[in-house]
Amino acid sequence: MSTDATSRTSMLRTLLHRPYFWGLIAIALLLAVNSLKDPSYLAIGYNANTGSLVGNVIDILRAAAPIAMISVGMCLVIATAGIDLSVGSLMAVAGAVSMELLASAGGSAGAALAALGLALLLGAVLGAVNAVLISVVGLQPFISTLVMMLAGRGLAKVITGGQNTAASNETFRWIANGYVLGLPVVFLLAVLIVIAVGLLVRRSALGLMIEAIGMDPRAARLAGVNRRGLLFAVYIASGALAAVAGIFASASVMTVDVSNTGYQLEMDAILAVVIGGTSLAGGKFNITGAAIGALLIATLDKTVVFLGISSSATPAFKAIVIIALCLLQSQRVRDLFRARRAKTAPVTSDAPKEAVAA
Amino acid sequence: MSAPPIVEMKGISISFPGVKALDRVDFRLFPGEVHALMGENGAGKSTLIKALTGVYTIDEGEVRIDGTPRRLGGTADAQAAGVSTVYQEVNLCTNISIGENVMLGHETRGPLGINWRDTHRRASEVLEKVGLGELDPRLPLSTLSIALQQLVAISRATVTDSTVLILDEPTSSLDANEVENLFTVIRSLRDEGVAILFVSHFLDQVYAISDRMTVLRNGTFQGEFMTADIDQATLIATMVGKEMKALDSLERASSRREVDRSGAPVYRAEGLGRKGSLEPTDITLHAGEVLGIAGLLGSGRTELARLVYGADKPEEGTVRLEDAEAQIASPSQALAARIAYASENRRDEGIIRDLSVRENLILAVQAKRGWARPIPAQEKNALVEKYMNALNVRPADPDRPISNLSGGNQQKVLLGRWLATRPDVLILDEPTRGIDIGAKTEIMEEVIALADEGVAVVFISSELDEVVRLSDRVMVLKDRRKLTELLAGDSLTSDTIIATIAEESAPEDPGSLEPAGTGASS
Amino acid sequence: MSAAITTPPAAPTVSRLERLRQQLLSRADSLPTAAALVIFVLMLAYGEIAYGRIFQLSTVSNLFINNAHLIILAVGLTFVIISGGIDLSVGAIIALSSVCGVILANAGWNAGLVILVMILIGSTIGLVSGVLIQYFDVQPFIATLAMMFLGRGLASMLSTVPVRLDEASGILLLGTKIKLIDGPKVNDLVITPGVLIALLVVAAAFIILHRTRTGRTVYAIGGSEHSASLMGLAVVRTKLFIYVASGTLAGIAAVVYTARLGSAQNITGIGWELDAIAAAVIGGTLLTGGFGYVLGAVVGALVLGLMNVLITRDGSIPPEATTIITGGILLIFVLLQRAVISRQRE
């Protein structure tokens, strides 16, 4: 065997061991299915008027942006062995508050900035409320954020007075509909934010500490890790990222639909995180994986519509994916696989023991 | 004892990843006897019990109950075979009534479902047997103290007409009177022919109640004795063992140097205490000194260490660091004050299984620095390399998950974690438990080296020989209070410590005069 | 060694005052239920004073008729929550089951058969949740969340527009209003077979929870699943039963709701799982498991129903604030429960 071949196989093996490997395969598969139906599905054109690339793939990238935002936040929360069910509602709140502000403050760039700032602030504050309920009062994350999910949706409706407020502001609109270098701004922003969050948690010690409290809160506490502070950080981050997602979602149509903006997107976020290889039990997390998960969900959404199935049926497909992933994560199924592998190759299963003894 | 044994276990072995919890252990239990199972933490007592109750499956060996070989697949199997267990952490449901807890699964049923009147009447009858006949079985279990819950659990075991009753540390949270009540119940059950397996770390109680005992140490069978034939000192010596081999290479630490106790102590606490876990205790630590803490399981040795570290918040007492008043109420405060503590519970409070050796090693240093100041990669590698080399961690691969390492190497990584924080005070709680002799020696050498460097080391171990070898001063604890402090010297041997503990019989046990129920913190 | 003390245990000799305190303490867990009852009465009184026409037969009748499905759902959730679990799929089950039912009925199926299918859809989904939770260690809220997605998605595949039952369908009989007391004008005491079904469900659930071993095992699991299995109780079977029961009751709720409305849609029942959870919690069921009352859940459902009536009557409260109020009430009750528990622990 040549060294070239072995290095290629080892590269393939590292990729195979990436938790999001199957996510990438699934995206490729879905795109292939779409190409079968319409061979020109993957074609990308150039629109000289707007200076933008156009095509189905570009649409998918655009749609993935808000999902990626909440998925990244959810990823951090799940790593602490928590959950944030309120992200969808917080998207609506952020959309509502920014649309209301723009509707009254007009079309200036300053108004757009103010709307952005206010939405982010509100998202962070509501995230902090979640954190208080969980780390100070001591409620289960699931129930605290469930309450916030109810209240947040209501708050969005109260902010707009129950209306689906629309506004016009070119700067704000540009966030979701503009192009830079031919790519949608919203996609570029999402990539930047994912990279920024990824660098922040991995270059600082946040990532390690978040994993530590998610894996073993007792041992982490004895090692001096400050659980309460970290919980505040992740829930505030999740709230603020949900606000970003809300801005993306409402800026694309310059309207907030208080009942439907972000509706059930918390489920998409959870799904994206699990696809990305982060266990729902907390611990090791993978931000890149979550972003790829978001991309897969956006692809799935578009595919379902493209194949002529009602878009409201997509939840069923997502459910099947969730169930499959949960089964793969479960001990029972793993034991089954392990037993089978041990039967076929008893030598390899002993290898780690020998290594320890050495 | 002419009757054949009701339970006979032969050559029982059970392994967990990295540990052999039981190694060809024999055990037998006769009807109408109280049989004590003795041994220190990690000796394999609870593993043996769980093998008998079907919670663990055994790797090797045979269990015979009433003469027939059994494969126990779970609690229900064991109960069907007549084996009932009352665990230390009373396994009842506090949210339902007393009577229901007794009768759950055995309620009287009529045409309209459960007949509560009759069920509660029968519960009262059963409770009567353990002297709780006057209790209203309709009250929720949560209204009872732990002591009474313990009795309720025992009466539940009698509903099923068990022939074998296992009591796992039933007295750990009872006061003297409650213990006597329990013993009255145990004796009457014994006289009815029930075989009772009694596990307790209170030697006095074991002598008061048991007829026969089996001693385990490090997962091996040490012997079966009639209680009347073995005195306390011999028993303790059998339990704690004298593992001379590991120590031969070590010089006695105290003989090599003099500790300077004239300066301000690094750490000094007066009246450090917490209700239900430790009587107010004074403790002083000097730089360069190894303070050994001796005492049996449950003597308060771990509790003291946790209070010093802030792992449990002290309820009383003042702390001075280098003569400056200080407040240590949490592990992060302790770390900031340069105090480090390696927990005896390596699995649940020490290692973080899914993190790598590297991450486990730097975690405490990183927590001390705060999240925003990550350790630069170069420094991190140097740190990891330094401690992995110094402590001889094998395999020397920092990126391996720590769960892949043997117990001894996990312990070395944890020691590295605390050393990396450069502590002034280092508390090691059972650092040598459950690890092989080579690793043991290495860790003890490291302790001496640390003291030479000027660290104040607190060394807690149930292996008394280790304590004697390493310590410059030994604090002896019993029943959650300090008995005395002994300075190292030729007169200090493990036998003198054993004698100190054994002599101090405490019928008027001040440690357990607390009102019932406060011990529920466990 | 001191000699054995021969006197019987001194435990039960507590003073009368102490016993009273204990009894009060032991009742503390029913405090939230009592609070819910008080709130319900206060709401009734406030409504009567502020808007009038609350204390009358027709209002009460409507309260029951309009909330029969919610009562049934809340009873199912009570089982689940007492055991320490959660079921988020019930709203979606209603959507799937009712859309399916209407389509089958309109295709000419026998009404009885359709009803059976509708109920069995719920049981099946509940069974799948139970298997995922019990055998594959999936957290309850994730497993039932997946079922919620699945149910909602399948319902949407069947139809995305409202489907109407044929006027002649036998299912509608369950929604017929039966006048029990003919009051003045329209102030009649009216009941529907749907309400009767709800009341039967409540009675059956009460008997199961309080008079059968299965029911008591539900409580034991909620107290401590570990203890329950060490006590040798049928934990596995009971947990499966709990989720199947919750699913089945959601199927029954779908029948009752469809019979009343005469139509179904894929978006029917959105958020009802939260209403049902809120009803159970308001009624005194502890979200962490172990405590709860079926009758409390009924009160909880009525509190929520009455709240909607009052908000409609008032007119000045924007209807969009309803979810905030529901969320707020839920939070208050959860906090109340925490306070009671920590008081008890002292």
Q: What pLDDT digit, counting tens, does each position of B360-419 carry?
A: 999 999 998 888 888 888 999 999 999 988 888 877 888 888 887 877 788 889 999 999
3-state secondary structure of A174: helix
Amino acid at B296: L
CA B91 centroid distance within chain: 18
Residues of C in contact with B178 (CB under 8 A): 9
Q: Which residue of C has its CA nearest to B134?
A: C12
Nearest Cα neighbor of C250 from C100, C70, C62 is C70
Query: What's the pLDDT tens digit per position in A279-302?
Result: 888 888 999 999 999 999 999 889
Same domain for B97 and B201, yes or no, is yes
Cβ neighbours of A310 in C, within 8 Å: 156-157, 160
B177 touches chain C (CB under 8 A): yes
pLDDT score for A355: 34
> Quick check: is B195 in a domain?
yes
Rounded Cα gap, residues C145 and B295, in angstroms = 52
| Whether C327 and A162 lie within 8 Å, measured CB to CB | no
pLDDT of residue C16: 64
How far apart CA A20 and CA A291 sit, in angstroms, is 9
CB contact under 8 A, C220 and B93: yes
Q: Where does a domain end: B207, B240, B273?
A: B240
- Residue range(s) defining the domain that contains residue C288: 33-345
Measure CB to CB from residue C25 to each of B100, B112, B143 and give the nearest one. Answer: B143
Average pLDDT, chain C: 84
Residues B485 and B469: their CA atoms lie apart, in Å, by 16
B105: in domain: yes
Q: What's the rounded Cα separation, in Å, for the pair C154 and C95? A: 9
Q: Is A28 a domain residue?
A: no
ipTM: 0.78
> What is the C-alpha separation between C224 and B285, in angstroms, rounded?
43
Residue B226 pLDDT > 80 = yes
Q: Which residues contact A105 (CB under 8 A, 6 or more apart)?
A: A111, A114, A115
Residue C25 lies in a domain: no
Residue A340 — very low, low, confident or very high, per pLDDT cuts 50/70/90?
low
Residue B233 pLDDT level (bands cut at 50, 70, 90): confident
Range of the domain at B451: 244-338+425-521
Say how far apart CA A73 and CA A69 lie, in whole Å: 7
User: Residue A158 and residue C327: Cβ atoms within 8 Å?
Assistant: no
Angle between helix A287-306 and A56-79 (nearest 10): 140
pLDDT at A352 over 50: no
Give every CB contact of residue B112 below 8 A, 6+ residues apart in sequence. C207, C211
CA angle B426, B431, B436 (to 5 degrees): 150
Instruction: Output the domain CATH number for residue C190.
Output: 1.10.3470
Which chains does chain C touch, 3 or more C-beta pairs < 8 A?
Answer: A, B
Q: Does residue A314 contact residue A268 with C-beta atoms inside 8 Å?
A: no
d(CA C86, CA C170): 34
Q: B24 phi and psi, to 5 degrees?
A: 45, 60
- CATH at residue A124: 1.10.3470
How many Å apart are CA C197 and CA B478, to the nearest integer?
65
Instruction: Find residues 347-386 of chain B whose CB sits inside 8 Å of chain C.
Output: none
| Range in B491-495, C16-20, C339-343 with the lowest mean pLDDT | C16-20
Residue C304 to residue C190: CA distance in whole angstroms: 20
B145 contacts in chain C (CB < 8 Å): 11
Confidence of residue B504 (pLDDT cuts 50, 70, 90): low
Per-residue pLDDT at B434 = 67
CB contact under 8 A, B139 and C233: no
Residues of B with CB under 8 A from a CB of A: 18, 309, 311, 331-332, 334-335, 341, 343, 348-355, 359, 363-364, 366-375, 394-395, 404-406, 409, 417
- Closest chain B residue by Cα to residue A213: B352
Same domain, B151 and B282: no
Asked if the structure places residue B413 within a domain, the reply is no
Q: What's residue B509's pLDDT? A: 42
**Please, is C173 exposed, middle or buried when counting C-beta atoms within 10 Å of its C-beta (0-12, 13-18, 19+)?**
exposed
Q: How far apart are the CA of C83 and the nearest CA of chain B, in angstroms?
A: 11
- B15 and B146 fall within a common domain: yes
Q: Has residue B352 been placed in a domain?
A: no
Q: Which of B193, B217, B240 is the endpoint of a domain?
A: B240
What pLDDT, in 10s, does the model give residues B146-164?
778 888 888 888 887 788 9
Report pLDDT for A142.
84
Of residues B516 and B281, more confidence is placed in B281
- Residue B515 and residue C8: Cα distance in Å, rounded? 19
Is B397 part of any domain? no
Q: Is B181 in contact with C5 (Cβ distance < 8 A)?
A: yes
Beta strands (DSSP E) in A31-187 are: 45-47, 52-54, 179-180, 183-184
Question: How far is it, in rounded angstroms, from Cα A58 to Cα A246?
Answer: 20
Q: What is the pLDDT of residues B344-368, one digit of tens each?
A: 888 788 889 889 999 999 999 999 8
What angle (nearest 5°) sits at the alpha carbon of residue C73, between those of residues C68 and C75? 95
Of the residues B217, B240, B263, the one at which a domain ends:
B240
Of A189-193, C252-256, C277-281, the range with the lowest mean pLDDT is: C277-281
User: When comparing pLDDT for A100 and A20, which is higher?
Assistant: A100
Rounded to a whole number, what is the distance in Å from the CA of C229 to chain B's nearest CA?
Answer: 8
Check C287 against A143: CB less than 8 A apart: yes
Give how far Cα C174 sits from Cα of B446, C102, C115, Å. Answer: 81, 14, 11
- C 196-225: CB under 8 A from A: none
3-state class (DSSP) for residue B404: helix
Chain centroid offset of residue A95 CA: 18
* Mean pLDDT for chain B overall: 83
Contact flag C160-A318 (C-beta cutoff 8 Å): no
Instruction: Tell me the pLDDT band of C198, cut-offs 50, 70 and 90.
Output: very high
Residue C10 has pLDDT above 60, yes or no: no
Judged by CB atoms closer than 8 Å, whether chains meet at A326 and C324 is answered as no
Is residue B13 within 8 Å of B22, Cβ to Cβ? yes
Chains with ≥3 CB–CB distances under 8 Å to A: B, C
For position B111, which CATH number holds? 3.40.50.300
Query: Are A271 and A318 contacting, i.e. CB atoms less than 8 angstroms apart?
Result: yes
A2 burial type by CB count under 10 A (0-12 exposed, 13-18 middle, 19+ buried): exposed
C27 touches chain B (CB under 8 A): no
Does a structural domain hold residue A49? no
Mutation choice for C interface testing from B34, B95, B145 by most C CBs within 10 A: B95
Tell me the CA distances in angstroms from A200 to A138, A148, B44, C210, one per residue in order: 27, 27, 46, 54
Q: How far apart are CA B281 and CA B273, in angstroms?
A: 6
Asked, for residue B386, whether it belongs to a domain, the answer is: no
**Same domain as B249, residue B203:** no
Question: Which residue from B139, B143, B95 is spatially nearest to C291, judged by alpha carbons?
Answer: B95
CB A77 within 8 A of CB A273: no
Q: What is the pLDDT of residue B413?
A: 92
Pairing of strands B324-326, B481-487: unpaired
Q: For residues B322 and B433, what is the distance between their CA atoms, to the nearest angstrom?
A: 32
Q: Which residues lie below 8 Å from residue C137, measured CB to CB, with a gap of 6+?
A: A330, A331, A332
Instruction: Say yes or no to pLDDT of A141 above 60.
Output: yes
Pull the structure tokens for residue B4: 């054949």
Domain count, chain A: 1
Domain span including residue A81: 62-329
Q: Exposed, middle or buried, C115 (CB in 10 Å: 0-12/13-18/19+)?
A: buried
Looking at chain A, which residue has its C-alpha nearest residue B395?
A356
> Is C41 part of a structural domain of the chain?
yes
Looking at the 3D structure of chain B, how many domains does it have?
2
- Searching chain A, which residue's CA lies closest to the CA of residue C329? A147
For residue C206, the distance in angstroms to the closest alpha carbon of chain B comes to: 11
Smallest Cα distance from A206 to chain B, Å:
5
Number of domains in chain C: 1
Give the count of Cβ contacts less than 8 A between chain A and C: 125
Instruction: Note the pLDDT tens digit of each residue in C111-124.
Output: 899 999 999 999 99
3-state secondary structure of B112: coil
CB A143 within 8 A of CB C334: yes
Return d(Cα C327, Cα A152) in angstroms, integer: 9
Q: What percent of chain A has pLDDT over 90?
A: 40
State whether residue B13 is helix, strand or coil: strand
Q: How many helices (H) and strands (E) does chain C have?
A: 13, 4
For residues B52 and B78, is the Cβ–Cβ distance under 8 A? Answer: yes
- Domain assignment present for residue C10? The answer is no
Averaged pLDDT for residues B430-455 = 82
Is B512 a domain residue?
yes
Summarize pLDDT for B162-206 with one digit per residue, the tens.
889 999 888 766 767 778 888 988 998 899 889 999 988 777 788
Question: Which residues of chain B neighbour A219 with C-beta distances below 8 Å?
Answer: 348-352
Cis before residue B137, ω within 30 degrees of 0? Answer: no
Closest residue in B to C29 (Cα) is: B95
Probe site for chain B from C16, C82, C210, C211 (most B CB atoms < 10 A)? C211
Residue A247 within any structural domain of the chain: yes
Of the candidates B25, B71, B30, the one whose C-alpha atom is nearest the C-alpha of residue B46 is B25
Question: What are the tens digits of pLDDT across the range C208-232?
Answer: 998 899 999 999 999 888 888 888 8
Q: Answer whether residue A133 is part of any domain.
A: yes
Question: Which residue, among C14, C146, C338, C55, has the nearest Cα to A323 in the 3D structure?
Answer: C146
In a domain, B443, yes or no: yes
**Displacement of CA C10 from its chain's centroid (Å):** 44
Determine, for residues C290 and B204 on separate chains, whether the beta-carbon distance falls below 8 Å. Answer: no
Q: Measuring CA to CA, how many Å separate B296 from each of B430, B467, C161, C337?
A: 12, 12, 74, 41
For B213-239, what is the mean pLDDT?
Answer: 86
Q: Kindly determine whether residue A150 and residue C274, on different chains, have CB atoms separated by under 8 Å.
A: yes
pLDDT one-digit tens code per residue, B299-316: 888 899 999 999 988 888
Write the single-letter amino acid at A122: L
Give the model confidence (pLDDT) of A91-139 as tens digits: 999 999 999 999 888 778 888 999 999 999 999 999 999 999 999 888 8
Residue matched to tokens 């039963």: C241
Return the minimum-mean-pLDDT range out of A326-330, B240-244, B470-474, C82-86: B240-244
